[in-house]
Structure 1
Amino acid sequence: MAVKMRLLRVGAKGQPSYRVVVADERSPRDGRFIEIVGFYNPRTEPETIQLKEDRVKYWLSVGVKPTDSVRILLRKANMLS
């Protein structure tokens, strides 16, 4: 089972916010996930990024690959170099 850390879209139409989740790469974008590890809201000023640091580090340590967009968020939160 290939697992990825990616964004799950939530919020009203035209007002997106996202959950950072760990999910099987075969499941749909807004479908089944394993664990919620954070939250991202690009519509606030400045944008809100909340991550469970211990869980993110755990999942990265067991080999979960973040998507490009999540990798950018992790760099902004200083969790990835």
Structure 2
Amino acid sequence: MVVIRLARGGAKKNPYYRLMVADQRHKATGRFIEQVGFYNPTAKGSEEVLRLDTARIDHWVAQGAQMSPRVQKLVKDAK
């Protein structure tokens, strides 16, 4: 099954997440199909907190991809 989930990056106590489309059998930070956005919860000042490619997310959902609960919340809040 194809899922849209967060992949953590960044440094200790400074997380940075990428929204990835991947097969659920692969690790969250491993092999992926496509990156469809990012989320930076520790953004300061004028830094961008969230960027989503909603057209690609809609495409993957139409193809049967499932979103993780956190990704669903981010997409809902962005719209």
User: What residue in structure 1 maps to residue 26 of structure 2?
Assistant: 27
**CA-to-aligned-CA distance 1:2-38 (integer Å, 9 cap, x gap):** 1100000111121101000000101111111100000
Equivalent position amino acid for 2:67 in 1 = P
CA RMSD of aligned residues (A): 1.5
**CA-to-aligned-CA distance 1:41-60 (integer Å, 9 cap, x gap):** 01125871101121111111
User: What residue in structure 2 maps to residue 11 of structure 1?
Assistant: 10
Question: Normalised by the size of structure 2, how large is the TM-score?
Answer: 0.90
What is the distance in 2 between the residues matched to 1:22 and 1:49?
16
Secondary structure, counterpart of 1:44 in structure 2: coil
Identity %: 43
What is the distance in 2 between the residues matched to 1:27 and 1:75?
26
Deviation >2 Å, runs of 4+: none
Question: Normalised by the size of structure 1, how large is the TM-score?
Answer: 0.88
Secondary structure, counterpart of 1:11 in structure 2: strand
Equivalent position amino acid for 1:65 in 2 = Q
Runs of 5+ in structure 1 lacking a partner? none
